[in-house]
Chains A and B, each alone.
Chain A
Amino acid sequence: MSAVVDSHGHDHHDHHDHHGGYSGLMRWVTTTNHKDIGTMYLWFSFMMFLTGGAMAMAIRLELFQPGIQFFNPDLFNQFITMHGLIMVFGAIMPAFVGFANWQIPMMIGAPDMAFARLNNWSFWLLPFAASLLIISFFTPGGAPGVGWTLYAPLTVQMGVGMDLTIFAVHLLGMSSILGSINIITTILNMRAPGMTLMRMPLFVWTWLITAYLLVAAMPVLAGAVTMSLTDRHFGTSFFNAAGGGDPVLYQHIFWFFGHPEVYIIALPAFGVVSQVIPAFSRKPLFGYASMVYATSAIAILSFIVWAHHMYTVGMPVTGQLFFMYATTLIAIPTGVKVFNWVATMWKGSLTFETPMLFAIGFLFLFTLGGFTGLVLSLVPIDIQLHDTYYVVAHFHYVMVAGALFAAFAGVYFWFPKWTGKMYDETLGKWHFWLTMIFFNMIFFVQHFLGLAGMPRRIPDYPLMFETWNKISSIGAFGFGLTQLLFLYIILKAIRSGEKSPEHPWEGADSLEWTHLPTPAPYHSFENPPVLK
């Protein structure tokens, strides 16, 4: 199966279907096949990753030296806002939805997702929404320059680009909610006989829990941005003291969504890593049941910690203490998961192909990010670090070295199953090591910037921050170029990669590896597998 959106001749085996009767572009527009849709999500997310990444390059270019060299402060604010929105909603979330689409039916022995046509619509909302975000740059006043968190009342001052962004957020949310309903229904109702919930691969478990988080949290974001929209245009005063409202109310509503959102991003990453580490340790995942309970605990706790993003708004002491205690609590199930992964590796028989390298990189660096999160959870320390580069470093460790590394691990891991070809292992290792080194160059030094007092979201800075900013920017340019290497690896493998063996990974034991050929057929498990 070609994973590329064009109709170059693909060299095929004989169960090449007629793909629903269409060929070329129309095949992709009309497909209801979970594998096709997964492919589209993954390519879309990669294109968004490069777009958001280009904005990051622009940001780090301006921040290379003190002074304003390239972009005026207003445009800079637009870049940081769109970088955040595109990466969160356009890149990392759709990437994991792509994994969900490809993998969940195969891993539970189902022929496809529960609502195949809804699945198609859920995807096609995304390019439309992404276009709105990009178009906002070209409206009078440009894209909104308010930060991805869209705080009121700054958002009330923005031009029509803000309204386009609100519309885009609604569409992105709609796509996620519909996709999640699909995922939950599929997992609950369409498992093969004998696949009890506690026999499901952990990747499926993490997506089940994530989908519930999405259904609960995304609509709240829709509510928050709708209130901003009516405050902007329809005379309401949700966030305006003049009419009896309160700007802090926006923050409460936003972060009620915002905190579960970061677990929505992290949990599928945990799921991927929970498939990869046992496979390359040739040993079962340690503590399967605890992993399920820990993931559920994280999901539930994620709803009661939101105001740790707001310690400095002036909330009463009792509030600060409550959120501090609840936030430190989340460290416990997260720690349990880290210990379980290490225990899985312990006394295994380890090999270090590219998927495993990324999974180990995830383990090491996500935990580092988790520790800086613990530091930030403590109110007195957060008073010093809130809205500084320490926070930027923290969330890039967990989102990039966490979620993105896990996504890379998943792509390298499942690539043979999807395409029947192997990627170049040497190049894959280069991709890993360069990404690893450049990532840390960008973000490790940002901890020091935050401690030293550099605020977030500024295009220019006092002289004492220059050295770290230079190093960070150099790392960024290297990191960006390295991801082009990834693109090359994938394209090269699709076009001319070696044929993959049936079982490329000795320790991989979920249904797609044990019960399906490599590559997986266009329609798989039309009859459910028999599970012993």
Chain B
Amino acid sequence: MNAEQARDQAQENWRTLTRLSIVAAGMFGFGFAMVPFYKAFCDAVQINSLVERDAAPTNTQVDASRLVTIEFDANVRDLPWRFRPLTGYLQVHPGQLVQVEYEVSNARATPVTGQAIASFGPELAGRYFKKLECFCFSQQTLAAGETRRMPVVFLVDTTLPADVNTITLSYTFFEVAGKS
């Protein structure tokens, strides 16, 4: 090919390279965008409303025709705390406002701050589990040696599918670094 054709070819090549580089950069950004996408998806199907206060439902009718068993579970990760539910499990009616308490004790000789993360079994039950008051909404700081009782106020939405009648509410307390 002659010099002019070679120049045109080179230009065309650079144009293609630029377009493809933009795609590559976009896909790199997409990898990071997957983080908020993941959260948005979970919010949309309401799988993992970890630490957000749920809106108080307007319809507070209690469905007395069915009972749902709620189990309460507690875990601690790398924290010198003792953490346990004061009630192991309860039977509630959907729509019924319920309060339970968890007890936390700090065994360290200095104040420690922790954050509780909620998790549900089965996962989809989280969508129907409305937490109105929860110690998981904010970080909790316990003084040296302090023991505290912390409430969770919740209700199970009446739209809970008929084939779900056991829900496990599990909290894991993690240490918040840099606060102790």
Question: What does the 1/0 interface line of A178-192 toward B look like (CB < 8 Å)?
Answer: 001100110011100
Does B23 interact with chain A (Cβ within 8 Å)? Answer: yes
Q: Which residue of B lies closest to A220 (CB)?
A: B31
Does A244 interact with chain B (Cβ within 8 Å)? Answer: yes
Task: Give Cα A218 to B38, complex, Å.
Answer: 20
Q: Which residue of A lies closest to B16 (CB)?
A: A185
Set of chain A residues within 8 Å of B1, measured between Cβ atoms: 527-528
- The answer, among A217, A235, A238, A242, for a CB contact under 8 Å with B35, is A238
Q: Could you tell me which residues of chain B, from 77 to 124, have a CB within 8 Å of some CB in chain A?
A: 77, 115, 117, 123-124
Does A453 interact with chain B (Cβ within 8 Å)? Answer: no
Question: What does the 1/0 interface line of A220-254 toward B look like (CB < 8 Å)?
Answer: 11111011000000010010011110100100110
Question: What does the 1/0 interface line of A466-507 toward B look like (CB < 8 Å)?
Answer: 000000000000000000000000000000000000000000
Interface of A is mostly: helix
- The answer, among B23, B29, B32, B35, for a CB contact under 8 Å with A216, is B23
Set of chain B residues within 8 Å of A253, measured between Cβ atoms: 31, 34
* A249–B38 CB distance below 8 A: yes
Does B17 interact with chain A (Cβ within 8 Å)? Answer: yes
Task: Give Cα A188 to B9, complex, Å.
Answer: 11
Does B13 interact with chain A (Cβ within 8 Å)? Answer: yes
CB distance from A118 to the nearest CB of B (A): 8
* A242–B47 CB distance below 8 A: no
Given contacts A222-B31, A223-B32, contact A316 B13 (CB under 8 A): no
Q: How many A residues have CB within 8 A of the partner chain?
A: 39
Task: Give Cα A115 to B32, complex, Å.
Answer: 29
Q: Could you tell me which residues of chain B, from 15 to 33, have a CB within 8 Å of some CB in chain A?
A: 16-17, 20-21, 23-32
Set of chain B residues within 8 Å of A257, measured between Cβ atoms: 31
Does B50 interact with chain A (Cβ within 8 Å)? Answer: yes
Given contacts A219-B31, A220-B31, A223-B32, contact A190 B9 (CB under 8 A): yes
* B16–A246 CB distance below 8 A: no
Does A143 interact with chain B (Cβ within 8 Å)? Answer: no
Q: Could you tell me which residues of chain B, from 37 to 55, have a CB within 8 Å of some CB in chain A?
A: 38, 45, 47-48, 50-51
Q: Which residue of A lies closest to B34 (CB)?
A: A253
* B9–A189 CB distance below 8 A: yes
Q: Which residue of B lies closest to A236 (CB)?
A: B35
* A222–B21 CB distance below 8 A: no
* A215–B31 CB distance below 8 A: no
- The answer, among A181, A249, A527, for a CB contact under 8 Å with B21, is A181
Q: Could you tell me which residues of chain A, from 188 to 207, have a CB within 8 Å of some CB in chain B?
A: 188-190
* B20–A223 CB distance below 8 A: no
Given contacts A217-B27, A219-B25, A316-B47, contact A241 B13 (CB under 8 A): no
Question: What does the 1/0 interface line of A303-327 toward B look like (CB < 8 Å)?
Answer: 0000000000011100000000000
Set of chain B residues within 8 Å of A528, measured between Cβ atoms: 1
- The answer, among A219, A227, A243, A256, for a CB contact under 8 Å with B24, is A219
Does B174 interact with chain A (Cβ within 8 Å)? Answer: yes
* A242–B174 CB distance below 8 A: yes
CB distance from A155 to the nearest CB of B (A): 16
* A220–B30 CB distance below 8 A: yes
Set of chain A residues within 8 Å of B24, measured between Cβ atoms: 177, 181, 215, 218-219
* B23–A188 CB distance below 8 A: no
Task: Give Cα A238 to B25, complex, Å.
Answer: 20
* A219–B30 CB distance below 8 A: yes
Given contacts A219-B31, A242-B77, A244-B51, contact A114 B38 (CB under 8 A): no
Task: Give Cα A523 to B24, complex, Å.
Answer: 31
Task: Give Cα A285 to B12, complex, Å.
Answer: 32
Given contacts A219-B25, A242-B115, contact A188 B16 (CB under 8 A): yes
* A222–B28 CB distance below 8 A: yes
Does B172 interact with chain A (Cβ within 8 Å)? Answer: yes
- The answer, among A220, A316, A527, for a CB contact under 8 Å with B123, is A316
* A220–B27 CB distance below 8 A: yes
- The answer, among B9, B20, B27, B117, for a CB contact under 8 Å with A184, is B20
* B20–A185 CB distance below 8 A: yes
* A189–B12 CB distance below 8 A: yes
Set of chain A residues within 8 Å of B34, measured between Cβ atoms: 220, 223, 249, 252-253, 256
Question: What does the 1/0 interface line of B105-146 toward A look like (CB < 8 Å)?
Answer: 000000000010100000110000000000000000000000
Set of chain B residues within 8 Å of A246, measured between Cβ atoms: 38, 48
CB distance from A518 to the nearest CB of B (A): 25
Q: Could you tell me which residues of chain A, from 39 to 59, have a CB within 8 Å of some CB in chain B?
A: none
CB distance from A293 to the nearest CB of B (A): 22
* B51–A215 CB distance below 8 A: no
CB distance from B67 to the nearest CB of A (A): 24
Question: What does the 1/0 interface line of B1-17 toward A look like (CB < 8 Å)?
Answer: 10000000100110011
Set of chain B residues within 8 Å of A252, measured between Cβ atoms: 34, 38
Task: Give Cα A226 to B34, complex, Å.
Answer: 13
Set of chain A residues within 8 Å of B123, measured between Cβ atoms: 314-316
Set of chain A residues within 8 Å of B30, measured between Cβ atoms: 219-220, 223
Known: A114-B13, A241-B117, A252-B38. 14 other contacts (CB 8 A): A115-B13, A185-B13, A185-B16, A185-B17, A190-B9, A218-B24, A222-B31, A223-B29, A241-B172, A241-B174, A242-B174, A256-B34, A315-B123, A316-B123
Lowest 9 A-B CB distances belong to which pairs?
Answer: A223-B31, A242-B174, A219-B28, A219-B27, A220-B31, A185-B16, A114-B13, A181-B20, A189-B12
A-B contact pairs, 8 of them (CB 8 A): A114-B13, A185-B13, A185-B17, A219-B26, A219-B27, A227-B32, A241-B174, A256-B31
